[in-house]
Amino acid sequence: MTQRRWSRGSIGPAGGSSARRILAGAVVAALGMLASGCGRQYVLLHPVGPVGHSELRLMLLAGGAMAVVILFVCVLLAIAAVRFRDRQGRRAPYVPDWHQSRILESIWFIIPVLIVAIIAVPTVRQTYALAQVPQARKPLVVDVTSLSWKWFFEYPSAHVATVNHLVLPVGKPVLFELTADSAMNTFWVPQLGGMEYTMPGEVLPLWLQADHTGVYWGHSSNFSGLQFEKMFFSVKVVSASGFSSWVRQTRRSDPALTAAAYRRLRAFGTTGTATYSGYPSGSFPKVTHRFTLTGGQYVPAVRGYGQMQMGMAGSGGTMPAGRP
């Protein structure tokens, strides 16, 4: 199974109890019914990569557990309302001074504790698991810069760049290094997996992988000003050979992005898509990479990384912003 390959900590069927499987099945069925007709447009329910899949599994687990709780509370409330409604001739017991029961109170202390435990354990496991790029394959690195209001993507290994569209090889993990040369946005391709902020002055990592070729869409999810709604981009996933031929083609026939052109790109406004066979060296913060990859794990490149990430390191933690 695919998910076994990339992460040990997954809560795949092999790791789950049968109760959990039934629960998840019920939720899948319910959501499936809901989604029938235009189901594909429920992009979160149709991930095409391992990250999206494992996030979906957690959603189903949390959703299932919560559905049980909701049902339980609603049924209990309904019974109380019907049985104890103030009506003539009501025969249910009336006990105005009954106000305590150790046993009952312990029960509904324990129920939430159990539910929390059921959700929390896999949550923690997955949170750690997803923070690592799968070790088996060297990821493709893509440097992402959000601008007002467009996306600028650089492929350092191929030294090509694109605006508002991505081309990715299928089946290969992609490490996105995210920053912003404008207000904050989030980089989000729902069908591949969750989002991460792009923040000026910081570089944040996010890895995703597409297991099927096709064209997907992405958008920023964090409001960034006037034309925020224009921050769509497309993600075209092609075969490995298709990807290298796209790189070759681009290098051969597309113009390079000049420093002046990058400055124009940075200005407030929107543009369509574009592809470049090169980009100026200063357009992504090289020296300030906050992390490197060792054995697939993000490792702080400078000391005090963790504090910087929590925004507590003062000016020592920022990169000079007014870069060209």
Partner 1 sequence: MTAPAFVPYLLHTLFPPNTHRPTEIGADVMMGLGMGYLVYWLTRHRKWGWLWRDWLTTVDHKKIGTMYLIAAILMLFRGGVDALMMRVNLAMPHAPFIGPEEYNEVFTTHGVIMIFFMAMPFIFALFNAVIPLMIGARDVAFPRLNAVSFWLFAFAAALFNLAFVVGGAPNVGWTAYPPLTELHFNPGVGTNYLLVSLLISGIGTTITGINFLVTVLRMRAPGMTLMRMPMFAWAALNTSVLILFAFPPLTVALLMTLLDRLAHTAFFTLSHGGMPMMYVNLFWLFGHPEVYIVALPAYGVFSEVVPTFSGKRLFGYTSMVVSMAAIMVLSYGVWAHHFFTMGAGAAVNAFFGISTMLIAIPTGVKIFNWIFTMWGGRIRFTTAMLYVMGFIPTFTIGGATGMFLATVPADYQVHNSYFLVAHFHNVLIGGTVFGLLAGMYYWWPKMFGYRLDERQGKLAFWLFLIGFWITFGPQYLLGFKGMPRRMWTYPAGHGWHLLNVISTAGAFVMGAGFLVLVYNVLWSMRHGERDASGDPWNGRTLEWSLPSPAPEYNFARIPTVSSLDAWWAMKQTGQGRGRGAAALRLRPQDIHAIELPRNTGYPFFLGAAFFVLGFGLVFSWWVIALLGLAGVWAALAYAWFDHDQHKHMRADEIRRIEASMGRLPA
Q: Which of residues 47-106 bind partner 1 (CB under 8 A)?
A: 52, 54-56, 58-59, 61-63, 65-67, 69-70, 73-74, 76-77, 80-81, 83-86, 90, 92-101, 104-105
Q: Within 13 A of 101's CA, how many CA atoms are on the CB side?
A: 8
Residue 56 or residue 257: which is nearer to partner 1 going by CB?
56
Residue 22 or residue 73: which is nearer to partner 1 going by CB?
73
Q: Please list, residue by residue across 122-156, b when 16 or more beta carbons sit within 10 angstroms of its beta carbon and e when fewer do.
A: beebbeebbebbbeeeebbbbbbbbbbbbbbbbbe
The CB-of-324 to partner 1 minimum distance in angstroms stands at: 13
User: 33, 34, 299, 302: which one contacts partner 1 (CB under 8 A)?
Assistant: 34
115 binds partner 1 (CB under 8 A): yes
Q: Which of residues 275-304 bind partner 1 (CB under 8 A)?
A: 298
The CB-of-238 to partner 1 minimum distance in angstroms stands at: 22
Q: What is the C-alpha end-to-end distance of the chain, expressed in Å?
A: 47
Residue 85 or residue 252: which is nearer to partner 1 going by CB?
85
The CB-of-151 to partner 1 minimum distance in angstroms stands at: 14
Q: How many residues bind partner 1 (CB under 8 A)?
A: 104
Per the rule left: phi > 0, alpha: psi between -120 and 50, beta: everything else, 99 is alpha
The CB-of-253 to partner 1 minimum distance in angstroms stands at: 30
- Do residues 57 and 50 make contact, with C-beta atoms less than 8 angstroms apart? no
- Do residues 186 and 176 make contact, with C-beta atoms less than 8 angstroms apart? no
Q: Which of residues 175-234 bind partner 1 (CB under 8 A)?
A: 182-184, 186, 188, 190, 193-197, 199-202, 204-205, 217, 219-229, 232
Q: How far apart are CA 67 and CA 189, in angstroms?
A: 27
Q: Which of residues 147-166 bind partner 1 (CB under 8 A)?
A: 148
Residue 213 or residue 318: which is nearer to partner 1 going by CB?
318
Q: How far apart are CA 246 and CA 240, in angstroms?
A: 10
The CB-of-107 to partner 1 minimum distance in angstroms stands at: 8
User: 26, 44, 256, 261: which one contacts partner 1 (CB under 8 A)?
Assistant: 44
Residue 1 or residue 104: which is nearer to partner 1 going by CB?
104
Contacts of 217 (CB under 8 A, 6+ apart): 189, 190, 232, 233, 234, 235
The CB-of-212 to partner 1 minimum distance in angstroms stands at: 17
Residue 259 or residue 312: which is nearer to partner 1 going by CB?
312
124 binds partner 1 (CB under 8 A): yes
33 binds partner 1 (CB under 8 A): no
The CB-of-137 to partner 1 minimum distance in angstroms stands at: 21
The CB-of-89 to partner 1 minimum distance in angstroms stands at: 12
- Do residues 131 and 241 make contact, with C-beta atoms less than 8 angstroms apart? no
For 230-270, the DSSP string reads G-EEEEEEE-HHHHHHHHHHHHHHSPPPPHHHHHHHHSSS-
Q: Which contacts qualify for 306-311: CB closer than 8 Å, 24 or more apart?
A: 308/202, 309/202
User: 169, 173, 285, 317: which one contacts partner 1 (CB under 8 A)?
Assistant: 317
Residue 117 belongs to what H/E stretch? helix 102-130
Contacts of 182 (CB under 8 A, 6+ apart): 146, 147, 148, 149, 200, 224, 266
